[in-house]
């Protein structure tokens, strides 16, 4: 992260009516000054005599100087991507922002004020004007009220604060950027590197150990949510105190993120992840045919005497799976046990009339058979194709007996041979992820392999 320490001289106190007569920029990389820039500027208006008395800059000095328009491109390149730092920052920022706006460019950098930083770094002073604070800290000002003289003094002051009390600088940055939620030992620069993409992320502590693994459609927003929400406040505070770094893997799709997260939790056993445990009570999806010849479904607890089509960790998971099948295959909610009255009563237009026998059983059962076939195929050896991370790449996942056993990201025109994929440990939970999402895939995304 680099900082552009700026000072300007102007014709007056208002950005709307005043003009810039001189500007200086000192670039600091967090360790030392790495670049300097200074120029007089023709403000396009007369400089009042009292301003000349204060700064020493008169009309003759700026008559042949470049206008702001003429140095705007060079100045923009110098300021862009850097934190804007100044003593009473809003004064300097206001003039420069207004000058860029007149050229049709919106200037909105992150800002830091050395007045505010000094109040935290050196509390109890009677004045925090640049002259007084530099006098207190024995910082020389070689040319007071000239842009480079003041900018250099501000740069020395900033250098001293960031080296002696860096937490003051970075906590102020977080607050000013609306990012005060960040953990105290997690840098703003690192947060800004986090992608807004789908994938798996790893929270790391000061010892370099992974303490939490998660998955997200938007990694940056999900990371932010860990520390800015009100859910599980005790866990939030523990994580906030320990996390110092974040790593991530992009996955290209939510399904891949779920699979990779499951594998990584079992591989790493992070301290803040709840253990993946199978519940003692399982729920099942059961299938039968009623007296009128219509195939029906029911969700119920699994017992020794009842063998379900599928098992689930909870009734909610089972119902969600069934509802997805109902939507995909246009089945009747009443015949699936989710409704007591006919679909006509609630004006459910997705039902084609099976619950009031206006759709023939053979027609309805054909769609049920498609659903049943997909459930049975999910238990065979199969490969699925998912979106890749970029371009023409695809993710290929091979499941043996419903459990993920291999996967790779490849660029190819057809399904690869399973042996071309990388072997991963079999984790039972991947079976439930496959079962949850398989009915949402198109048929050309699935290839079933013969079992031996």
Q: Which residues are catalytic?
A: 145
Pairing assessment for the beta strands 403-410 and 394-400 based on DSSP bridges: antiparallel
d(CA 157, CA 130): 9
Token representation of residue 355: 């619950």
Torsion of CA 69, 75, 79, 81, to 10 degrees: 80
Show the tokens assigned to 16. Answer: 């709307």
Answer yes or no: are the C-beta atoms of 11 and 51 closer than 8 Å.
yes
For residues 210 and 268, the answer to whether their CB atoms sit within 8 Å is yes
* Backbone CA torsion sign across 229, 240, 268, 282: negative
Name the residue with tokens 């990389």.
29
Please state, in angstroms and as integers, the Cα–Cα distance from residue 313 to each residue in 150, 263, 285, 301, 432, following that order.
67, 18, 12, 10, 9
């Amino acid at each position: 992260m680099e900082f552009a320490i700026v000072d300007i001289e102007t014709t007056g106190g208002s950005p709307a009516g005043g003009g810039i007569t001189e500007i200086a920029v000192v670039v600091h990389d967090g360790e030392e000054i790495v670049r300097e820039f200074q120029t007089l500027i023709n403000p396009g208006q007369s400089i009042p005599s009292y301003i000349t008395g204060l700064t020493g800059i008169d009309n003759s000095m700026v008559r042949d100087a470049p206008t702001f328009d003429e140095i705007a491109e060079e100045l923009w390149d110098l300021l862009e991507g850097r934190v804007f730092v100044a003593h009473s920052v809003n004064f300097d920022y206001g003039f420069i922002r207004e000058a860029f706006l007149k050229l049709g460019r919106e200037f909105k950098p992150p800002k830091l004020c050395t007045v505010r930083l000094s109040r935290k770094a050196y509390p109890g002073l009677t004045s925090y004007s640049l002259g007084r604070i530099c006098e207190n800290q024995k910082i020389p000002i070689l040319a007071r009220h000239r842009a480079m003289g003041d900018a250099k003094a501000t740069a020395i002051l900033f250098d001293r604060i960031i080296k002696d009390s860096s937490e003051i600088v970075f906590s102020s940055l977080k607050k000013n950027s609306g990012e005060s939620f960040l953990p105290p030992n997690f840098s703003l620069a690192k947060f800004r590197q986090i992608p807004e993409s789908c994938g798996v992320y790893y929270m790391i502590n000061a010892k370099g150990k992974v303490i939490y693994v998660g998955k997200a459609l938007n990694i940056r927003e999900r990371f932010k949510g860990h520390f800015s929400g009100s859910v599980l406040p005790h866990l939030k505070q523990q994580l906030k105190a320990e996390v110092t770094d974040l790593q991530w893997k992009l996955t290209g799709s939510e399904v891949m993120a779920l699979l990779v997260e499951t594998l990584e939790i079992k591989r790493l056993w992070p301290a803040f992840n709840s253990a993946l445990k199978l519940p003692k009570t399982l729920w099942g999806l059961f299938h039968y045919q009623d007296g009128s010849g219509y195939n029906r479904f029911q969700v119920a607890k699994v017992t020794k005497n009842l063998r379900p089509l599928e098992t689930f960790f909870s009734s909610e998971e089972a119902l969600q799976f069934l509802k997805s099948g109902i939507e995909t295959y246009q089945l009747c909610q009443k015949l699936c046990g989710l409704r007591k009255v006919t679909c006509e009563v609630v004006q459910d237009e997705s039902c084609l009339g099976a619950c009031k026998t206006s759709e023939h059983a053979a027609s309805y059962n054909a769609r049920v058979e498609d659903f049943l076939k997909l459930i049975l195929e999910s238990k065979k050896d199969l490969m699925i194709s998912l979106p890749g991370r970029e371009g023409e790449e695809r993710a290929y996942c091979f499941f043996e007996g419903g459990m993920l056993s291999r996967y790779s990201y490849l660029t190819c025109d057809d399904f690869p041979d399973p042996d071309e994929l990388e072997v991963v440990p079999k984790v039972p939970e991947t079976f439930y992820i496959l079962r949850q999402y398989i009915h949402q895939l198109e048929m050309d995304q699935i290839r079933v392999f013969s079992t031996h």
